[in-house]
Amino acid sequence: MGFSGTRVFALLLAAGLLPVALSGCGKDEPVDTDTPTAERLSLIPAPASVQRNDGEFIVDAATPLLARGEAARTVAAQFAGFVSKARGIDLKISDAADDDASGIVFAIDSGMAAASPEAYMLEVSPERIQMTAADARGLFYGAVTLWQLLTGNDDDRISVPALRIDDAPRFAWRGFMLDSARHFQSVDEIKQMLDAMALHKLNTFHWHLTDDQGWRIEIKRYPRLTEVGGCRIPAGDAGRDPATGKPVPYCGYYTQDQIREVVEYAAQRHITIVPEIDVPGHAQAAVAAYPELGVTGKPIHVLNEWGVNTTLFNVEESTFVFLENVLAEVVELFPGPYVHVGGDEAVKDQWQASARVQQRMRELGAKDEMAMQSHLIKRLEKFLAAHDRRLIGWDEILEGGLPPEATVMSWRGIEGGLEAARQGHDVVMSPSSETYLDYLQTDSPNEPPGRPATIPLEQIYAFEPVPTELEDSQRHHILGLQANMWTEHTRNFQRLQHNVFPRLAAVAETGWTPQAGKDYPDFLARLPAQLHRYSAMGIGYAKTPFEVGIAIDDDRKAGTAQVMLSNPLGYEVRYSTDGSQPVAASPVYRSPFDVKLPVQVRAATFFEGKPLGDTSEFRIDAASLLRRSDEQLAVCPDTGRLLLRLEDDGPAQGERAIFNVTIFYPCWQWNGADLDGISAVNVRAGRIPYYFQLAHDEPSRTFEPAKTAHGELEIRANGCHGKVLNSVTLPAAPDADGFINLTASLPEGITGKQDLCVLFTGDTRPDMWVLDEVALQP
């Protein structure tokens, strides 16, 4: 970012005591504040066509809902429920008496010309609101638009401007995938996500139900899939009873009756569910339940680690029949046209090492392991086709050949989608680099655990599902896009909502709004109203994108600092330096300002005079300038290793510590640490299980050899392969609180600015030391 001096890059903690890493200090495109609030329609996704007229329609508890026919009455009732929850008024439904009746009219017109069954027309005049669609789906989405018009603020007077909206979605597939295998969600939580999807006009729920870490769908023919495969023993303290030391399993699955309930609930909101049964990899929970399904036939446990595992289904005829029997029950439960069979990350080591698998491949005429997987996919495709279903899988199913009827979900970038479309396959674009919601969304220390990359709101909004290089003749194969929420690091529903919202709103706009109608600054101007709706509907959206960030350029010796404030999304920042709460009349941050230490800076984001987030606080004094948390420290640049944000292994319930960790090489670096007048480095560290399987990436995991029984804490100068300034022997275990505090004195004569590296030696398996905080001791 080009800052010089001893600058600390930080996002303000809500508690406000520590500086942390910051990126995105400025935005190229400011939030749209040119359009007056009264003229802006804060609709997300933006509709295809809007014509504004004169006047307004006032809605209150006496406004009747008039429905023509049973389908229209159903939509009117759903609309009334949404309004009641968000605005607290109960609207009554009656049959529409005549065309001139005053009120809100819902009507199905089968003769209405529409490009899509999801299209609708909404007309508002001072006398009435008329909603018309050719299909109940379109009428429902029109009701969602009207609900948004009623709920963008909390004004007592509810008015809808006179207008006409003609609207239809850009893409037929507007999806959201939820991984219920790694961490399990209750039926009520699934329903809450379906409600939220519907209010974003998303229509496809991809339900990831099986994986190495859990089998979550009841299959009556094979009860051990849930009896055994539905439970795992978590790694570390979370998997042990602290009183007895006995294992504490993590369990959960959906009964078939519960699945039917969820399917019906989704259908009422015009959402199709696509179940996923993963083959031939991500199979360890199934193999743990029935070891004869595995390549070795040996008993194994349900996996309690993350990453890429090598356990595969074997290729025996009996296993193929097992999978077909499972799918036979799946298609009875899920009436939608698609069944997802996974196909991703199936490392072929077990197949390559098995003489029996190699013999079976020769029997089947499969020239290599890719062809063997293709044989399995083709067989399952035929089975599903015979049951009036279409097969869909991750883009690895292209390897070795694919039936023409199969659909490809492109996650390893867009290249697989391009190849599939050119081969004539339908495609759903879902690249991990643009649509994975388990990736962090800001650099704030208030982000929950997650994958290493940061995918901010703007990056998701900018994603274009139809590649420019795809030929016009093949573009019809792009069915749409999907956001994916993997849950390795998402232990509870609160974190799930944090990761998903508001980024799912950006996905929704790309899926619905015409490409030419997308406008990111305008989207940001409409977003505050969406946040208001989230709050009204009980959706726990992420607050981190609306925090204020701070960077400071300090002169520790002079007791002064220059302060720079920012917001990741570019919203207006107002601040104070006298300890007062920032309000609409507080100074607007426009440029860096100087302060004398100590000082307390308080800041908040505002939009049109109203605060968007909680106030962030930051106390800058001599002590804070000498401390860095793990979030503030850099990944050692000369190792080039992966950074993860990981959670402690205990307690089983409640809050846990969170650490930034480079799992390939255990180092942290304080760039430009000012060591003038510093005699020692104090380190607070914890220890967590190393719960990763890396498959072919395992050789990349490196560490410095330990010189003593339990390894050492090393403090190095000039990077993580620089000179060792001191080495402190590590204990066998942390203290009772799970942490250790170590002090490493510095040699005399170590002064000036150094890239100070903190490094733990020794193998990181089965447990690894993780950094919590570093402090320089004067």
Active site residues: 345
Residue 45: asked if its preceding bond is cis (omega within 30°), the reply is yes
Q: Exposure pattern of 254-283 as b/e (b: 16+ CB <10 Å)?
A: beeeebeebbebbeebbbbbbbbbbbbbbb
338, 339, 344, 347: CA torsion to nearest 10: -150
Contact 341, 278 (CB under 8 A): yes
Question: What are φ and ψ of residue 530, in 5° steps?
Answer: -65, -35
Q: Count Cβ atoms below 10 Å from residue 594 Cβ, excluding itself.
A: 10
What is the distance between the alpha carbons of residues 685 and 705, in angstroms, rounded to a whole number? 19
Spatial distance between the Cα atoms of 645 and 635, rounded to a whole number of angstroms:
12
Specify whether the CB–CB gap between 197 and 175 falls below 8 A. no
Strand order across the beta sheet in which 549-555 lies: 6-11, 549-555, 560-566, 593-596
> Residue for token digits 């930051």?
618
Beta strands per DSSP E along 486-580: 549-555, 560-566, 572-576
Which residue is it, tokens 């929970």? 285
Cα 672 to its chain centre, rounded Å, is 33
The enclosing H or E element of 123 equals strand 120-124
**Residue 13 dihedral angles phi and psi, to the nearest 5°:** -70, 150
| Separation in Å, CA 398 to CA 339, 340, 401, 404, 603 | 17, 14, 6, 11, 51
Tally of CA atoms within 13 A in the half-sphere of 756 that contains its CB: 30
Q: CA 279, 186, 266: angle at the middle one, nearest 5? A: 75
Phi-psi region of 609 (alpha: psi -120 to 50; beta: other; left: phi over 0): left
Do strands 93-95 and 65-68 pair parallel, antiparallel, or not at all (unpaired)?
Answer: parallel
